[in-house]
Structure 1
């Protein structure tokens, strides 16, 4: 983390964010462009489109160590894009054979394909990290599948669930969002190579063969037609990135609330100085959760930015390229950092099961009102049972009477043993938990578990 006012706090120091910062940084970007130019020369030489003897000098020249990056920056400022000055440098370094560099290509071919190569590298790392996320959450779920906690509706106590059920809800959405990202990335891993306006006219009949072999050389799929102005794949990818960060942030939001002093059911991992206040020494702030939430808020606009890129004029649009690239690459960095922080959060999460149990009884037993209502409805009907339980709830709330006492007065009914009624309500969700865990291989075998705090 630096002290720059534009750096996103805790997020920018995370391993995932830093890894993607290198991929999308100056060196990583230039490397992606050089990879394109080297592969293009090799393919065209093999097909006889350019002289075979030109290939080795061009490949040797596609070396960032041989470039004058300061001169390239100056040239990019003059031209507006880095490709023309980059091609000139490669050509100069390749000597007499340099005239065959970039043959039949256009600037956007290089920049779009380069971005695809960078996105693949960055998101492959994110997807690998998400495998660990899934296993950590599966372990947490399995460890607490019958740990009672208040299920909350509109921030109010609803009915009891298990903490494992809550974790399974997080995991289910994260798994779907991960799969959505994987699918969107697969659809976006497509070569861009069409020349001028995408028609491959410059290669005079060799274009389709070059495009086919270039896609294979870069391990990308070949499109049916050039996509200079068809940005739907990038829109789908941006949406998948934003959805996944939001799925992580939903979990972070729940954890932050459960960390509040009045609730006290969870704590972020402890670390020296982490989450401390500059003026309140007693505080342990949910700073990891905060960073994940800010990442979600910072990326939710990205699909809109990229969607605007679909509104392009004719065969080459104006005023879209840098906006799309900047928004999408920054969003991937935010996602990568959020995943790193999520893994830190979940692997060290402190679960206070005794506090969860105490909070369940905070409303004098009212959390069991729905279960009792459903039992009474079997002989009284649901509407009448609901009316009775509404009066019981009012008596408990206004007088502080225990739920079971008020139930006896209002309904002449008795409350089943709390342990039994609690276990029943938690048990009903176990099949759903099993369905979520079935999408993860043997979560119980994983060694990392959340710690249970002593209240």
Structure 2
């Protein structure tokens, strides 16, 4: 784990973050560039755009171990981009065939397409990991669909809910944002291949055929028109990444609050030394939650950064490329790490149903006041019911008496037990839970298999 001031702590130790860092790192980026260059040579050789005998030497040259990385870094720092020195190095390696390396394309074609390949590689795995989180949540939701707990409004006791209902709210949002990111990734998985200003002028009549075949070779969508200066797909992807990360952070915010000493209803999974304090040995800090929340806050600005990249000059803009790549890859790394942490947290989440029940009784029955008001409104009208129950609530708060006693003292009547019945208050919520579980369990024809609850 890095101890640098800029290191994002626990997040960097996760499988997801490390995997994304590797793919977006120097080696992964160079590999993506080489993949594009090799595929281009193969396609152009097949179509007769370049000599067929030139393909094998070029493809053989497109291996990272053939490169002098120190020289490549030094040259890239001089040129400003890595593709020019990379192409020169590949051309030297390919011998006489080297003149056909990178034929008819341009730097941004390679860098944009490589970026798309990297994003697809990382996010495909991250989305599959997120689907596992949904399965965990679906099981927890079904298990706790009738576990009573306090429903909180602005951090205050509102009305009773079930823990399963709270989980269903988490699950619904995570599912929808995952589907949103899946769609955004599909729409962003587009080839960039247009040459100098996007018109494929360098390849003349062969340009469109090369583009079509190259898209097929890389399993990418062929765009209608070059998108050098049209960055809306990347903006949508950035927003979808940030939204899914925020959905995970909503869970973390709730769990962290429920872990507080005064609440104590759930706990992160225990691990030796994790969450300990240097001066307060009794503490069990919500460090997983903290890391997920910080990850979400760290990428909130990214969609804004990418919106800025849409404001490009003419056919090729200036001052956008590196900002987009850095912001987007950082956001995806944070998401991938947060998904790993969320899965760990939910797989070992400790639920204290007894404490949930104790907290329901903390206000001496006041949490049932809404149910009482609905009951009384049918008999004495809503305004009078509100007045009576305001007085009842004041008496309970001031004297510590229970709700039933205070109601008898104020209203001179008994309250039927059925009015305070938990199950009747969460009946509609059970239907909502069923709908969420049904939604996440059944996909469309192109989507993933159903989530099994067993």
Q: Please, which runs of 5 or more residues in structure 2 have no aligned partner?
A: 442-449
What is the 5 A alignment of 1:78-89? 78-89=78-89
Question: What's 1:300 paired with?
Answer: 300
Question: What's 2:255 paired with?
Answer: 255
Question: What's 1:15 paired with?
Answer: 15
* Contact 1:148-1:426 within 8 A present in 2 as well: no
Question: What's 2:153 paired with?
Answer: 153
CA–CA separation in structure 1 for the residues paired with 2:195 and 2:452: 54
What is the 5 A alignment of 1:109-124? 109-124=109-124
Q: TM-score, normalised by structure 1?
A: 0.96
Question: What's 1:56 paired with?
Answer: 56
Change (3 A) 1:241 1:83: same
Change (3 A) 1:51 1:444: closer
What is the 5 A alignment of 1:330-349? 330-349=330-349
Q: Please, which runs of 5 or more residues in structure 1 have no aligned partner?
A: 447-455
SS in 2 for 1:429: helix
CA–CA separation in structure 2 for the residues paired with 1:379 and 1:156: 28
Question: What's 2:226 paired with?
Answer: 226
Which digits, 9 at most, give the CA deviation of each residue in 1:270-304, with x for residues without a partner? 00001000110000000000000000000100000
Question: What's 1:451 paired with?
Answer: none
* Contact 2:368-2:420 within 8 A present in 1 as well: no
Q: Does 1:354 align with 2:354?
A: yes
Q: Supply the RMSD in Å over aligned alpha carbons.
A: 1.1
* Contact 1:17-1:333 within 8 A present in 2 as well: yes
How far did residue 395 of structure 1 move? 1.0
* Contact 2:372-2:419 within 8 A present in 1 as well: no
Question: What's 2:391 paired with?
Answer: 391
Q: TM-score, normalised by structure 2?
A: 0.97
SS in 2 for 1:150: strand
Q: Does 1:382 align with 2:377?
A: no
How far did residue 409 of structure 1 move? 1.6
CA–CA separation in structure 1 for the residues paired with 2:204 and 2:428: 68
How far did residue 419 of structure 1 move? 9.5
* Contact 2:185-2:237 within 8 A present in 1 as well: yes
Question: What's 2:277 paired with?
Answer: 277
Question: What's 1:266 paired with?
Answer: 266
SS in 2 for 1:159: strand
Question: What's 1:105 paired with?
Answer: 105
Question: What's 2:168 paired with?
Answer: 168
Q: Number of residues paired by the alignment?
A: 446
CA–CA separation in structure 2 for the residues paired with 1:273 and 1:419: 47
SS in 2 for 1:183: helix
How far did residue 443 of structure 1 move? 6.1
CA–CA separation in structure 2 for the residues paired with 1:290 and 1:413: 49
